[in-house]
Structures are given as C-alpha cells and as structure tokens.
Structure 1
Amino acid sequence: MRKYLFLLMAFAVLADCEKSPSSPKLKERKDIVLTKSQKEVFSKGNTFAFNLLKEVYPRDTKQEVFISPLSMSCALSMLSNGASGKTFSEIANALYFKGIWTTKFPESGTKPMPFHSLGGKDVTKDFMNAELPCKLGYSTELTAQMCELPFGNKAFVFDILLPDENVDFDAFVAGLDAEKWDSAISKLSSQEDLRVSIPKMDLSFTAERNILIPALQSLGIVSAFNASADFSAMSNIAVFIDSVIQKTRFRMDEDGAEAAVTVITGRNLASGEPFIADHPFVYAIREISTNTILFLGAYRGLE
C-alpha cells in the first residue's frame, strides 16, 4: 500500500548581531570563505531562488509573495537523503531571522504616504523615512534602482530592487534571474546620508500545495509527487510526497526586519537622489559574503 509524505516548510537563519537591543556592541563580521565547488552550489541556490519566485508569483494574486528558497532547498535536500535513482536526481537540488538595522529609522520620521500599487490604485502605507548611509545603484538592463541597507555588523543586508514606474511589474518579475540580480549588485556604490523612504511591512504568506507542487514540478521535480517516487533509502514502504506547504512571516519596521521563512536606458542616478520605494518592488534578505538569498519577496502594495 502506497503511503503519503506530508512536507511542511518552515524557516532557517539568525542575523549575526546582538540579541539584546540595549547592547550596542556588535560581533565582528567574519566572511564565509567558500571553495570553488561550494561557490557553485551557492550560485545554483540563488538560481533556484529566482526560478521559484517566478513560478510562485503568478499563481497567487491575493497575497504578498514572500518565500524562503533556502528553507525549501534544505527541506528537499533532507528528503534527498532518503531518495534514490531518478527521484534523487530531481530533488537533490524552523528558519528564523531577526536583524536590527545598522542605522535605525527614527520613529518620528514615519508618516503615511501614497503607494502606487499594482493595478494603478493608490493606497496609503506607513513609510519609514531617514537620511542614512547605504549602497545604491541602477541597472540599465533591468531599468531598476537597487538599494542595499545593512543589518547589525553588515553580515546580512536588505536589498530592494525598484523598477522604474513605467515598467510592467509582472513582466519584471518574470524576467528576473540570478545573473541579472548579481549584475545589479555589482553596480552598487556607497552613499552617505541618502534619503530613503520605504514602507513598513507586516505580512504573512502561505504557499499551499496547489501552488508549490505545480511550481516545483515546473522546475523539474516531478516524480517525487507521484507513484513513481523512489524513497527506498528512507522507507521500505512505497511513499511519495502528497503535499508541500511553506509558511512565512515578515515584519519590517524602524528597528529592523524579522522573518519567521516605456523603457529608460542609459540612466544614471544623480548623486543624492532620494530612494523612494512607493511602487511595487522585489526585495531580499541576503548574506553578504556568500551572496546567498535567505528570503525573497515581491511587494505589490495589496490592501
């Protein structure tokens, strides 16, 4: 008799900063040194991240999409230890993050501002506003600004990829990949006391089986979800995965972020030009030395 496996995705990493907000002392950042083969694995991880986002994003129009590709990869890798043959080749491919901004946004600067949501409707959001040091760049390939805000000792950063307002956001997400993301990061340069305005966020996202299984199947993970699955290294009873669910929670405020999982070309950013994220954008929490994406989302400004 064939049994079912139920897979519940949770989340994966802690920011490298002091847990106590009363203590200003931060641990010294230590870069993670990777071998050539390890770099290839991490690079494939980011490729998987954007492929997964592009598969999940169009399948759910009622929630703000926020996924943990790292958590998904870890769970699938654990399953691969019990898989063999074809099933193993397909899937070989409780996370918590809390980061305190290196430079916090003052609560006195938070105010309601219009956000031009997907579909053209303006909705009012609470925006955090501050002049602070960060990194800023512009990708002519993506026609988008990128802003990098560091947490704590700068081991982890919050990236915002903000397309020009006249860019079709759905098409923008569909066209994203790890190579274009890395190219945008390479164009970042340090800015002193740049005015940054970004919306506060407090959202939950649940990717149910009707979203995740088709998404993973589109990425080539097929036999694990049907009768041809081979988990013989895990169980002598014939089993396959019946359901995959990922639940994520994300909150970003003045203190930091917490997660529990017509084209204009040749444009240059003028020095000191403010960064105002008042229309849909893609965002990520990233480990700086390995460039690994822990969490990845697409914010549409849904009510």
Structure 2
Amino acid sequence: MQNFLEATQKFYDADLKAVDFIGAPEDCRLEINGWVEQQTENKIKDLLKSGTVGPMTRLALVNAIYFKGSWLNRFVEANTKEMPFKLNQNESKPVQMMYQRKKLPFNYMPDYSLRILELPYVREELSMFVLLPDESTDGSDPLLKLEKKLTQKKLDEWTKRDNMDTQSDVVVHLPKFKLEEDYELKEPLGKMGMTDVFSGAKADLSGMNGEGGLFLSTVAHKAFVEVNEEGTEAAAATAGMAFFCMAREEYFRADHPFLFFIRHNKTKSILFFGRFSSPQ
C-alpha cells in the first residue's frame, strides 16, 4: 500500500488515503468532503451525499474541478445590462448580459448554422470557446441538432486558429452565468464498458493493497464554473503612426442556448464542456 501511495503522489500529484469505511463511514464521508472543499476554495461542498458510502464501501473515487480564469480582454462591468435570454421561440428569462467589442477569434460555419467565439484567458494558455447555433425558425432544437453532430475532430477543425477570423471586430453579448453540477458516474462508466472494476468478483486492484478483494464502490464527480466580467486589465502606450479605416464587424449575441468548453490550447485538452440553456 505504501508504495502505491508514494507512486500516485510522485507521478500523478494525487492524494490517496486509507480510511475506515467499515467502522466510521460517516466520518470518512465528511473527511473526503472537507478535503474537496479545501482543494476547490470552498466552491464545491458536500460532494459525497449522505448515504453514498457505508460499511460495504471499499474504494471511493472522487474528482472535483474548480476553475477560475481571468479574461485576457475583460468585460467592463458598467456595460453589463439585464436582457432577455430566449429559452425557445415562446419563452424567455432575464439575464445579466455582458458586452464588449474587440478583435477576437471568430468563425461562422454556414453548413452548421453555427457561430464560434474564442475568449482567451490571461497568458492564452487556456481559452473558452462558445458555440452558438443560429436561432430556430421551424420550432426544432438547434442545440440538440448541434450536439448530435459534434465530434472531437470537428471541434479541433472548427477552432483551429488558422480557420478563425482574427482581424474583425466582434460585438459580443454573453450572459454571466454560474453552473454547478454533480454526477454519480458508476452507471455511465458501466455503459462505456468499464464494469469489472465495480465487481468484487472481477476487479483486480491488488496493485493498490497487495492483497486483492478491493473494488470500486462509487465514483463521484462535481464541477463548478462561473463566468463573469472579471479579468486582468492591461494598458500600454506606444508612439507610432495611426491609420483609420472602417473595420469589419461580426456579431455574437448569445441570447439563446449555447455550448461552451474550456481548453488547454497547447495540448488541445478540454477541461470543461457544458451547455447553457436557461438562466437560474
């Protein structure tokens, strides 16, 4: 067990701890929840619900992600106004809508009736991409249509910097939002073919405890994402010549349901992927 603990810390920077699920399951649950709360700056609380673990629990896997990024080009708070967010053709809800006009990477895919906007974070290692389908004209759900067509290959192609317009000013309206969701992943993982690890008869996790008899009882995941005006403000003064012309403008008005994802740009790894379909 000690060798495994040291290896997980050394190679994965992950914490693994032996606890007494049999004798004190509730204390274990509270301890795990406390660790998650600390790691996520108090944003994710009560990851493991009451009754999630018990005397029969042998191994629990928890995964909690908290992300706070500063926009490279922040939204000015004074420009945020209440506007209607259209849930569908007949319903809407008020939302705090942020605004800015900047040169931002933008792409319009006419074959998919889709607008894509990249909002880089400071240092541009990470970016948020917003995928905004055109509004429906026939009563269908454009977001559902988009989700059915999405593949990793398409996302990579659509969001390549070479395929995006970086020269046009983009007039952006984007709602402030906060999303918090938790999931029990045992069933979805099972449907993907990951079944043996949940079976006491089939699981072989002897590399962890050196004995066997260990199997995964629960997999809990919770994510918290908050999008607002905050960002890093920068100012610079440079002497030079100025030329004026009429700039091309694109419009990105996210006042109806959209998808978003946060990506590590160098590796193309998607850290978060979500949908915003209704203000709280």
Q: TM-score range by the shorter chain?
A: 0.5 to 0.7
Q: Give the one of 71, 75, 79 matched to 1:101.
A: 71
Q: Give the one of 263, 270, 273 matched to 1:296.
A: 273
| 2:165 corresponding residue in structure 1 | 189
Q: TM-score when scaled to structure 2? A: 0.66
Contact 1:142 1:180 in 2 (8 A): no
Q: What's the C-alpha RMSD, in Å, of the aligned pairs?
A: 2.4
Contact 2:104 2:118 in 1 (8 A): yes
Instruction: Among all aligned residue pairs of Structure 1 and Structure 2, give the percentage whose two residues are the same amino acid.
Output: 30
Matched, 1:214 2:182: no
Residues 53-92 of structure 1 aligned to structure 2 (within 5 Å): none
Cα distance change, pair 255–123 in 1 and its aligned pair in 2 (3 A):
same
- Distance in 2 of aligned mates of 1:192 and 1:246: 39
Cα distance change, pair 2–181 in 1 and its aligned pair in 2 (3 A):
same
Residues 105-124 of structure 1 aligned to structure 2 (within 5 Å): 105-117=75-87, 120-124=90-94
Larger-Rg structure: 2
Shift of residue 275, structure 1, vs aligned partner: 0.4
- Distance in 2 of aligned mates of 1:111 and 1:290: 36
Shift of residue 192, structure 1, vs aligned partner: 4.2
Matched, 1:6 2:67: no
Spell out, residue by residue over 1:163-184, the C-alpha distance to the aligned partner (whole angstroms, 9 max, x if none).
Answer: 1212532242233210111121
- Distance in 2 of aligned mates of 1:3 and 1:125: 43
Gaps of 5+ in 1: 12-95, 258-270
Aligned residues, how many? 204
Runs of 4+ in 1 over 4 A off after TM superposition: none
Shift of residue 283, structure 1, vs aligned partner: 0.6
Shift of residue 191, structure 1, vs aligned partner: 3.7
Shift of residue 2, structure 1, vs aligned partner: 7.7
Shift of residue 105, structure 1, vs aligned partner: 0.7
Matched, 1:150 2:204: no
Spell out, residue by residue over 1:181-226, the C-alpha distance to the aligned partner (whole angstroms, 9 max, x if none).
Answer: 112113312044321010001221111xxx4222222222221122
Contact 1:7 1:244 in 2 (8 A): yes
- Distance in 1 of aligned mates of 2:220 and 2:145: 26
SS at match of 1:137: strand
Contact 1:3 1:237 in 2 (8 A): no
| 1:248 corresponding residue in structure 2 | 223
- Distance in 1 of aligned mates of 2:204 and 2:112: 41
Matched, 1:202 2:178: yes
SS at match of 1:189: coil
Shift of residue 158, structure 1, vs aligned partner: 0.9
- Distance in 2 of aligned mates of 1:162 and 1:132: 18
Shift of residue 129, structure 1, vs aligned partner: 0.5
| 1:132 corresponding residue in structure 2 | 102
Structure 1 counterpart of 2:146, one-letter code: F
Contact 1:138 1:184 in 2 (8 A): no
Cα distance change, pair 180–141 in 1 and its aligned pair in 2 (3 A):
farther
Structure 2 counterpart of 1:279, one-letter code: H
Gaps of 5+ in 2: 1-54, 233-247
Higher RCO (CA-CA < 8 Å; seq separation 6+): 1
